[in-house]
Amino acid sequence: MKVIFLEDVPNVAKAGEAKDVAGGYGRNYLLPKKLAVLADSQAAGLVEAQRKKRAREQAKDEADMKELAKMLEGKEVTFKTKAGAEGKLFGSVTSADISAELEKRHRLVVDKRKVDLAEGIKQTGSYDVPIKLAGDIGATIKVNVLAEEETK
């Protein structure tokens, strides 16, 4: 049975591929779950239209990421936290904190998973933190961590 895949099926085929599969597999699994359609000229046109739509969406997303990277580049966020002797923090500044501060101060929404911080910042100082948005698109922001002044 020759089918054209509408979605990626792990270890079988990628979306848009035409492939011969076992009859039972096609009838009982792929077709009912709308993972594939029978291969004919109408289905080929449908798959081609979906591929073009997906390419347009991907190009738009990439353009949005580049725009966000431009806006992020050179931004600076500052944290005032409690610190002990020699600037060692009580706790740490995490990627979630950086993401929240970017949204609060600059109104730029960045997922905390995009902030490329191996582990939390545990020392006062100034840090350059890379943000990986998509593929090779990214930006670098400056994170300043200052000791909070205690009032007695």
**Which tokens belong to 16?**
């848009």
Angle at 75 between CA 118 and CA 130, to 5 degrees: 25
Within 10 angstroms of residue 7's Cβ, the number of other Cβ atoms is: 14
Supply the pTM of this predicted model: 0.67
Instruction: Assign 119 to helix, strand or coil.
Output: coil
The 10 Å Cβ neighbour count of residue 6 is 18
* pLDDT (average), residues 104-108: 90
Average pLDDT value for residue range 6-24 = 89
Looking at residue 39, what is its pLDDT? Answer: 86
The pLDDT of residue 152: 47
**Is the pLDDT at 150 greater than 70, yes or no?**
no
Question: pLDDT tens digit string along 38-89?
Answer: 888 787 787 788 788 888 998 999 999 999 899 988 899 999 999 888 889 8
Average pLDDT, the chain: 88
Written as six digits, the tokens of 10 are 């792990």
DSSP assignment of 13-45: B-TT-EEE--HHHIIIIITTTTSEEE-SHHHHH
What structural domains does the chain harbor?
A: 2-64 (3.40.5.10), 70-147 (3.10.430.100)
Residue 110 predicted with pLDDT over 60: yes
> What pLDDT, on the 0 to 100 scale, is given for residue 136?
87
Only one residue has tokens 């009032």, namely 151
132 within 8 A of 142, measured Cβ to Cβ: no
Residue 28 has pLDDT above 80, yes or no: yes
- By the 8 A CB rule, do 2 and 43 touch? no
**CA 109, CA 71: separation in Å to the nearest integer?**
11
Higher pLDDT, 143 or 85: 143
